Amino acid sequence: MSGPRNPETPPNVGGGDPEPERTSMSSLQSHPDSERLEARAAGELAPQEAQALDAHLEVCGRCRAELEGWTLLLAELGSLPERAPTPDFAARVMAQVDVERVRQGAVRPSPLARLVEGLGDPVFSALRRLRRHRRAEVRHPATGAAPAGGANTGASGSTRHLTPGGIQDYLEGALAARIRARVDAHLAMCPGCSGEVAGWRVLFRDIEALPRISPAAGFADRVMDRVRVEAVAEVTARQQVPLATRVGQRVARGLDRIRPRSRRGWLVAGGLAAAPTFGVVAVVASVVLSPLLSFPDLLIFFQWRVFAVAGALGGRVLATLAETPLLHATWEALSGLSQAPPVALLAAFALAAALVATASLVVYRNLIAPSLMGETHAQPTA
Amino acid sequence: MEYAALDDREVVALACKGRETAFRELLARYERPVFSLVVRMVRDPSLAEDLAQEAFVKAFHALGSYDPRYKFSSWLFKIANNLTIDHLRKKQLDTVSIHGAPSAGSSEEEARTSIAVVDTGETPEEYTANRELGGQIEVAIGRLRPEYRTAILLRHVEGHTYEEVAEIMEVPLGTVKTYIHRGRSELKDFLAEVAA
Ligand SMILES: [Zn+2]
Ligand SMILES: [Zn+2]
């Protein structure tokens, strides 16, 4: 069953990256094994261990990619409902433990700590087994029994089972090769998970076996009765002729290609689009509010700057251009504008800003698909 | 005119030149896929016929605006899907006003109505349609939320890629993945429930 490769899967970059730089701590020089990365993804490493590993991940793209894969594989864990085996199991365990002493013992090894460790270890492993049991229960609902954690693993004595999301990615061929190999290895020795995978395979097969359904006979005729073929041809022909339209379509496609794809993207784009206007408004406002500055002064100042830059950059060409009637007329218009009362100018700029903001909003609302149908769809609960 | 050798875009180009046979070829290629999706969404064959017709008529009249860089099938499914969803949304509003508490004559009637709805989550027409479509997997699919259903049908029955499904449904790729994964999980639960 090889579905198309899921683009969200991180590329398998094993070995492609340069070795990480040598860092001061010796533990960072070797790559952590998959076991540890898997534990990191599941959030099961002690804080100190996790920190050391994160330091390595900082400099090592290869391990980062693998971690991403594990995260993907384990991603759906959090959304699964958890059911404790007995309501007060954890409470009964914890009643026998002085948590604070165990915690301190774990941080600072000392004679006392070692003593406490003797007490703490069974508790931690009991809790870890409890976690695993919960998961297994969730994940192997068909068999009802949790596969014995540790029965099917090597040195570490613990194993993690496949999540529904992981199994689905696996069956669709969406996993990176390294992770896929690990999954294969796990399946080879975990009857619980291979049973689950078999169940999922059946579901995939059943869905894919769904037949297409034919409409009642004569469907095509009924459609064609309603289609005005000549009108379509006419409209299309008209649309295809003008060069300007085609150029316009090109531009639109170009814009479409660079347009933001996410809500956040649109917000940023909208903000950027509106920013210059707000900037101008700010400048205008400061001019209006400042008793020392006036618009004519400011325009003359800019005129000087523009001609200075033009002179420096283009010399004759730009100077000639500057003397053309068009530029002169533009300049006149701007000067005329400067004669207008400042409040009117401010209002004009505010209006422009509002228009830009509204435009951004409209674009945002129209181009971003509203979250598809039925936010309030009644879900029959089984 | 031998159409078998032509791809969708070439057939569309001929349709744009006013060849009726090209329109018929597009219909022959897509009437079943489009109808299958729509009928599984609305669970009512005669309504599905109307919506599928509407989708083709609308698509054909808008052929001039079809951008050949996209797959024709994605474009067509997008139109069909939008029409279907609009219909489901409208129906949802109607259903609320019909089954809502205010319209119920007595509290007894109200209770009966609400129990019927909660029990199966199906209207009577849907109930019949589900039985007509037959098979437990069909029933299970019918119980999925519409967006899960669309995504799974497009992916598995029509074989679209995740990107194409995202394009058709106009939602981000990650959302499509979530729809499909959750939908499949629910299907699995439904079927396990039936088997038990
Ligand atoms: Zn590394
Ligand atoms: Zn397992």
The per-residue pLDDT for range A237-258, each reduced to its tens digit, is 776 655 666 677 778 888 877 7
Q: Would residue B1 count as lying in a domain?
A: no
A26 DSSP 8-state letter: G
Quote the domain boundaries for residue B44: 8-195
Residue B125 is predicted with a pLDDT of: 56
Question: How many Cβ atoms from other residues are within 10 Å of residue B57's Cβ?
Answer: 18
Q: A283-293 pLDDT, tens per residue?
A: 777 777 777 77
Contact present, B44 and B126 (Cβ < 8 Å)? yes
Token output for A69: 């894969």
Q: How far is the CA of A180 from the centre of ligand 2 (A)?
A: 14
Q: Which residues 127-146 of chain A have a CB within 8 Å of chain B?
A: 141-142
Residue B161 lies in a domain: yes
Other CB atoms closer than 10 Å to residue A145's CB: what's the count?
Answer: 10
Kindly tell me the sign of the dihedral angle through the C-alpha atoms of A63, A69, A71, A74: negative
pLDDT mean over B45-58 = 96
User: Would residue B2 count as lying in a domain?
Assistant: no
Q: Residue B53's domain is classified under what CATH number? A: 1.10.1740.10
With 90 as the cut, is the pLDDT of residue A295 above it? no
Predicted confidence at residue B5, as pLDDT, reads: 92
**Set of chain B residues whose Cβ sits within 8 Å of the Cβ of A7:** 162-163, 173
Q: Does A316 touch chain B (CB under 8 A)?
A: no
pLDDT band, residue A18 (cuts 50/70/90): very low
Predicted ipTM > 0.85: no
Q: Which residues contact A338 (CB under 8 A, 6 or more apart)?
A: A295, A296, A298, A299
Helices A34-41 + A47-59 axis angle, to 10: 110
Give, rounded to a whole angstrom, the gap between the first and last alpha carbons of chain A: 30
Q: Give the Cα separation of A327 and A233 in Å (integer).
A: 46
Total domains present in chain B: 1
Query: Is the distance from CB of A35 to CB of A42 less than 8 angstroms?
Result: no
- d(Cα A193, Cα A206) in Å, to the nearest integer? 20
For A21-38, write each residue's pLDDT tens digit: 343 444 446 788 877 887
Handedness of CA B68, B70, B73, B76 (dihedral sign): negative
Contact map slice: A 250-309 vs B, CB within 8 A: 253, 261-262
Instruction: Using an 8 Å CB-CB cutoff, list chain A residues near B143.
Output: 380
B139-163 pLDDT, tens digit each: 999 999 999 999 999 999 999 999 9
Higher pLDDT, A311 or B33: B33
Q: What is the pLDDT of residues A300-334, one digit of tens each?
A: 888 888 878 777 777 666 666 666 777 777 777 77
pLDDT value of position A379: 37
